[in-house]
Amino acid sequence: MPVKTAYNVAVVGATGAVGQKIIQLLEDKRFPINKLKLLSSKRSAGKRVAFGNKQIIVEEATPESFAGIDIALFSAGGSVSKELAPEAVKHGAVVVDNTSAYRMDENVPLVVPEVNSEDIAKHNGIIANPNCSTIQMVAALKPIKDAFGINRIIVSTYQAVSGAGAKAAEELKIQSQQYLNEEEMVANLLPVKGDENHYPIAFNALPQIDVFGDNGYTFEEMKMMNETKKIMHDDALSVAATCVRLPFFTSHAESVYIELDQEDVKVADLWEVLKTADGVVLQDNPAVQEYPTPLAAADKEEVFVGRVRKDPDHSKGFHLWIVSDNLLKGAAWNTVQIAQSLIKNNWL
């Protein structure tokens, strides 16, 4: 059979915040596309989206949409993935899914290419993209784990509103105006659309992302805890997360505490590992106030790490500050990287 050099690609959720970033990356990276199909709900069907010098008409996603598709990139929510990803696979497509629908399915690889790209080869038609907060953390910690061993992670996140969708970002804008005008702030969405109470995000911090489970952790926190173990292939790894929404638009930041297996490791040893880590940029010079911030990381593909410090009271403990664009490395870029890897390694 002749080797394909260009592929039929479908983007499901093409009109959404993540879908739009995926389309831009497919163009910017010159992804080898034969035909690009843009899919959404009925609401957006008929809209035109620019791709290079072409205008593509968005279509409603149905099971038949996937006939002839080689690669389908899903980011339209978990229920859409549950319904349509198996249909795409039935039609012969390989799915890269951005939702939590299949992440913990043992037959589905959960992949951050810099960490476990070899798992892509084991796919049965679906590959899952982890949660944004998990992706940036494991990208920075895996090289440290490989070098010195990590047995414990405690993370607190500082997450941008864009992670909760375009409407949440709009809510932050409106509430900020209301606060500055000394009007009452109206909260309709955050912390979680489907939960009972809503609180202002402007000039605030909300320690709830997604709904609460019976154990007192939120689903976002449990995603970080479970997904990290799966990606690192280490069920014995201890991971505890506290996830917090803050009033800025782009990039998630994380304060991460790790306990190493090895004694006598110095900050300089961690710097050496991070300097050469794939997809990671070390920005750590307190003498000149150099450290990553969400604003500076926005629109960048890398994971930025700074504030590396040794715990003065525990010889194996270290603190780090990890920042990355939640819609790029946290979602769209990781998805496109997986798709690139499928092609490069002949894993379709």
Which residue in 198, 243, 252, 314 is the catalytic one? 252
Find the part of the chain contacting ligand NAP (CB under 6 A) among 15-23, 29-37, 207-215, 225-233. 15-23
Which residues sit at the interface with ligand 3JN, rule CB under 6 A? Answer: 78, 99-100, 131-132, 159, 163-164, 209, 220, 223, 326
Q: Which of the following is catalytic: 123, 132, 233, 314? A: 132
Is residue 192 helix, strand or coil? Answer: coil
**Pairwise CA distance, residues 223 & 162, whole Å:** 18
Active site residue 123: no
- Strands 317-324 and 280-282, by their bridges, are unpaired
Q: Is 283 in the site for ligand NAP (CB under 6 A)?
A: no
CB 49 within 8 A of CB 59: no
Give 105 or 146: the residue with its C-beta nearer to ligand NAP: 105
Does residue number 18 form part of the binding site for ligand NAP (CB under 6 A)? yes
Shortest distance, position 94 Cβ to ligand NAP, whole Å: 18
Report cis status (omega within 30 of 0) of the bond before 286: no
Between the CA atoms of 21, 23, 26 and 30, what dihedral angle is there, to the nearest 10 degrees?
A: -120
Whether 132 is catalytic is: yes
Nearer Cβ to ligand NAP, position 80 or 273?
80
Nearest residue to 199 (alpha-carbon basis) of 164, 151, 238: 164
- Give the position of tokens 């598709």: 69
CA angle 125, 120, 25 (to 5 degrees): 90
Of positions 8, 44, 65, 208, contacts ligand NAP by CB under 6 A = 44
Residue 223, contacted partner among ligand 3JN, ligand NAP, none, CB below 5-8 A by kind = ligand 3JN
Tell me if 132 sits within 8 A of 330, measured CB to CB: yes
* Shortest Å, Cβ 212 to ligand NAP: 19
**Mask for 122-141, x = binds ligand NAP (CB under 6 A):** -------x-xx---------
Which range of residues in 14-22, 141-149, 153-161, 260-268 is near ligand NAP by CB under 6 A? Answer: 14-22
CA distance 348 to 335: 14
The answer to whether 279 and 329 are in contact (CB under 8 A) is: yes
Beta bridge partners of 321: 255, 306
Strand 33-40 with 7-12, pairing:
parallel
- Please, which residue, 119 or 220, has the CB nearer to ligand 3JN? 220
Site string for ligand NAP, 157-196 (x = CB under 6 A): ------x-xx------------------------------
The pair of three-digit structure tokens given for residue 16, joined into one six-digit string: 């959404």
Any idea which residues carry the catalytic annotation?
A: 132, 252
- Summarize as ranges the residues that interact with ligand NAP (CB under 6 A): 13-19, 40-41, 43-44, 61, 75-78, 80, 98-99, 129, 131-132, 163, 165-166, 330-331
